[in-house]
Structure 1
Amino acid sequence: MILLFQGFKMVKYESFSHVFSYAWEHVVTCFWKKYPNENSTHVLSEDVLVRKLLDENRLYTKRIIGKTNPLPKWGTTIFPSNMTKIAHVLEESIVDLQHKTMVSYTWNISYVTLMSIKEKIQLTANTSETTDCKKEGWADSSATGLRRVLRKFGITRWKSNAQKAVTGYEKVLANFDQRPKVETPISVEVKHLHIPKLSDNTIETIKDAKDKAKTKAIDLAALAAAKKAAKKPQNIS
Structure 2
Amino acid sequence: MRIWNSEHTFNHSWDTVVTAAWRKYPNPHNPSVLGLDVLDRRVDSEGKLKSHRLLSTSWGFPSWVRKMIGMQDMCYASELSTVDPENKTFTLRTRNVTLSNIVTVDEHVTYCQHPTDPNKTLLKQEATVTVSGLPLCNKLEQMMTDAMTNNASKGRQAMEFVIDKLTKEARELSAEAQKCMDTVLPHANTL
Fold in common (TM above 0.5): yes
| CA shift in 2, pair 1:188/1:67, >3 Å | same
**Bigger relative CO (Cα 8 Å, ≥ 6 apart):** 2
Structure 2 equivalent of residue 71 of structure 1: 61
Match 2:51 to one of 47, 57, 61: 61
The whole-number CA distance in structure 2 between the counterparts of 1:89 and 1:14 is 18
5 Å-filtered alignment, 1:129-168, equals 129-168=119-158
**What residue in structure 2 maps to residue 42 of structure 1?**
32
Out of 10, 20, 39, the residue aligned to residue 10 of structure 2 is 20
Determine which structure has the larger strand proportion and give its number: 2
Return the match for 1:184 from 179, 185, 190. 179
Unpaired segments ≥5 residues, structure 2: none
Shift of 1:159: 2.1
Contact 2:32–2:60 (CA under 8 A) maintained in structure 1: no
Structure 1 residue 118: Cα displacement: 1.5
Measure, in 2, the Cα distance between the counterparts of 1:174 and 1:121.
Answer: 22
TM-score (normalizing by structure 1) = 0.69
**1:56–1:69: structure 2 CA closer, same or farther, 3 Å change rule?**
same
Identity %: 25
Q: 2:95 aligns with which of 104, 107, 112?
A: 107
Whose helix proportion is higher, 1 or 2? 2
Label 1:12 to 1:61 Cα distance change in 2 as closer, same or farther (>3 A).
same
Task: Show the counterpart of 1:227.
Answer: none
Q: Which runs of 4+ in 1 moved over 3 A?
A: 178-181, 187-190
SS of residue paired to 1:184: helix
| Contact in 2 for aligned 1:118/1:137 (Cα 8 Å) | yes
Long gaps (5+) in structure 1: 1-10, 191-237
* 66, 73, 85: which one aligns with 1:85: 73
Aligned counterpart for 2:113 among listed residues 125, 135, 142:
125
Q: Which residue of the other structure, out of 152, 164, 174, is the alignment partner of 2:164?
A: 174
Post-superposition offset of 1:68? 1.1
Pairwise CA distance, 1:143? 2.0
What is the CA–CA distance in structure 2 between the aligned matches of 1:47 and 1:76, rounded to whole Å?
25
Higher radius of gyration, 1 or 2: 1
Deviation string, structure 1 residues 48-74 (Cα, Å, up to 9, x no partner): 111111224311111001011332254
Specify the code of the residue in structure 2 equivalent to 1:184: K
Give the counterpart letter for 1:35 in structure 2.
Y
CA distance in 2, matches of 1:87, 1:19: 30
Distance 1:76 1:144, change over 3 A: closer
